[in-house]
Structure 1
Amino acid sequence: MLAGGGERAVSFGTVSRATGLAAATLAGRFGTRDGMMLAALGHFWDGLDAATDAAATETKAPAFLKALGEAAVPQIVALSLTLPEMRPRAEAWRRSVEEALALRLGKTEPALMMFALWQGQRLWQAAGGRGFKLKEATRRLGTSG
């Protein structure tokens, strides 16, 4: 719901219909809609951190990003950047991915560019934009990775 419709798509009613749990049960568990949303975002970040750790076995930058797969939902990353409670997790994840890319590419600046290209590509693909091949981006950035 967060990825498809943002914060406005999330209410006790919509989550109740999607999960089959009573709205009162959700309210009792999370207290507020914001509490429920923050719990969902925390779960997202736990999963993304685990996916990032698992991707660490990949030695090439494009393969590392590809291994992150669908876990790195750009709409949820972007939403997290707007929330003071989630922004530190998003920023820490970005730094960890950039550092992992820099190790694979041998240079910091291309790693920063590749991260931005990758997240931008994923965001615009959701809106129907055309993508590019990460291997091609690596070559154009002048890295071996």
Structure 2
Amino acid sequence: MPRTRTIPDSQVLAAVRHLLGEGGERAVSFATVAAATGLAPPTLVQRYGSREAMVRAARMAAWDELGNRTTEAISATANKGPQALLKAIGPVDIAAIASDLRDPDLAQRAAAWRATVEAALALRLGTGSKAKEGAALLFAAWQGQALWAAAGDDGFRLKDAVKRLT
């Protein structure tokens, strides 16, 4: 009797996220995920029910990981500047995990993460409304830089933006 192959959801969802990053939603099917994980397509259907549910689960898992990474970065850089925080959070492939913000749960996760990062940046920039505005601008610049860096454009350096905002 053949042994049943078990792979944890975290590995399956990581494979889904990889496929999303490589080719978008069209690259994700039960067949492509099965090929990437070694699981049979019917096993994936049993676990997730539909391709859309599998993609959604992968995106929610990505937000969980990003939230945990952000919390750790905030703690690790408590006495450091905004650049240190953003560097500690690391690269964020926001396009892959936030490409469908029509889903209210995904939109809420994105908004909560942004608010968390902006609040942590504001604490590092000072107090008051100017710090909050600067944090919002720095967040936008950081995400814009990440977007264009993925397209091969170096753009500007974040430390230059921080200097202008402080």
Residue in structure 2 matching 1:93, options 87, 110, 113: 113
Which ranges in structure 2 are unaligned for 5 or more consecutive residues? 1-18
Q: Secondary structure at the match of 1:81?
A: coil
Aligned residue in 2 for 1:11: 29
Give yes or no for contact 2:59–2:97 (8 Å, CA) kept in 1: no
Scaled by the length of structure 2, the TM-score of the pair is 0.80
Aligned residue in 1 for 2:151: 127
Q: Deviations over 1:5-25 (max 9, x none)?
A: 222221111111111111111
1:83 matched to 2:106 = no
1:74 matched to 2:82 = no
Identity %: 51
Aligned residue in 2 for 1:46: 64
Question: For the residues of structure 2 that align with 1:61 and 1:80, how far apart are their CA atoms?
Answer: 28
Give yes or no for contact 2:30–2:41 (8 Å, CA) kept in 1: yes
How many pairs does the alignment contain?
Answer: 141
Distance apart, 1:84 and its partner CA = 2.7
Residue in structure 2 matching 1:35, options 50, 53, 59: 53
Question: For the residues of structure 1 that align with 2:40 and 2:31, how far apart are their CA atoms?
Answer: 8
Question: For the residues of structure 2 that align with 1:81 and 1:61, how far apart are their CA atoms?
Answer: 27
Aligned residue in 2 for 1:105: 125
Q: Deviations over 1:30-84 (max 9, x none)?
A: 00001101111111011001100110121210110011113x2121243142433
Higher RCO (C-alpha 8 Å, min separation 6)? 1
Question: For the residues of structure 2 that align with 1:92 and 1:123, how far apart are their CA atoms?
Answer: 20
Aligned residue in 2 for 1:21: 39
Q: Secondary structure at the match of 1:46?
A: helix
When residues 96 and 64 of structure 1 are mapped into structure 2, their CA distance, relative to the original with a 3 A threshold, is: same
Which ranges in structure 1 are unaligned for 5 or more consecutive residues? none
Aligned residue in 2 for 1:63: 84
Scaled by the length of structure 1, the TM-score of the pair is 0.91
Distance apart, 1:132 and its partner CA = 2.3
Question: For the residues of structure 2 that align with 1:76 and 1:97, how far apart are their CA atoms?
Answer: 19
